[in-house]
A = this chain, B = another copy of it.
Amino acid sequence: MTGIFLQEYICLVQATLSALAEPNRRQIVDLLRRKPRAVGEIVERLGLRQPQVSKHLRVLSEAGLVEAHPVAQQRIYSLRAQPLRELDEWLEPYRRRWDERFNQLDDVLRDLKRKDKEKRDGHGK
């Protein structure tokens, strides 16, 4: 948790990634994608224990991924778009590249071999 907060300054996307790294939390998020749900529903659907679900929801909530709306004794949790949008934005520069393959790997390797050769020749006996 402190980890999340420390990174939050640097980059909100980090908090999102940390929160989603936990499988059960990602499942919860996936579940809430369809529609908002009360804690009890999540407990049922995922077959987890209520306290753990509450704890996961807390983490998700602190990461801004979900928000709670009290209704009687229930708390209806729903997804918030922003963090996932930011994750999407983080992916943007990658998306733009992965057609032309990220790496000019070939270029880089060719480069290295060139330098290698030069070095070798420079020292040439």
Contacts of A13 in B (CB 8 A): 26
Given A18-B21, A33-B93, also A103-B88 (CB < 8 A): no
The DSSP consensus for interface residues of chain A is helix
What's the tally of chain A residues with a CB closer than 8 Å to chain B? 44
Contact B17–A97 (Cβ < 8 Å):
no
Contact A91–B84 (Cβ < 8 Å):
yes
Contact A98–B84 (Cβ < 8 Å):
yes
Contact B69–A105 (Cβ < 8 Å):
yes
A81 touches which of B3, B101, B108, B113 (Cβ 8 Å): B101
Given A7-B23, A71-B112, A109-B69, also A103-B79 (CB < 8 A): yes
Contacts of A81 in B (CB 8 A): 94, 98, 101-102
Contacts of A116 in B (CB 8 A): 71-72
Contact B94–A84 (Cβ < 8 Å):
yes
Contact B98–A78 (Cβ < 8 Å):
no
12 more CB-based (< 8 A) A-B contacts, given A17-B26, A71-B116, A81-B102: A3-B23, A7-B23, A14-B21, A36-B105, A71-B109, A71-B113, A76-B108, A78-B105, A85-B98, A87-B91, A88-B94, A91-B91
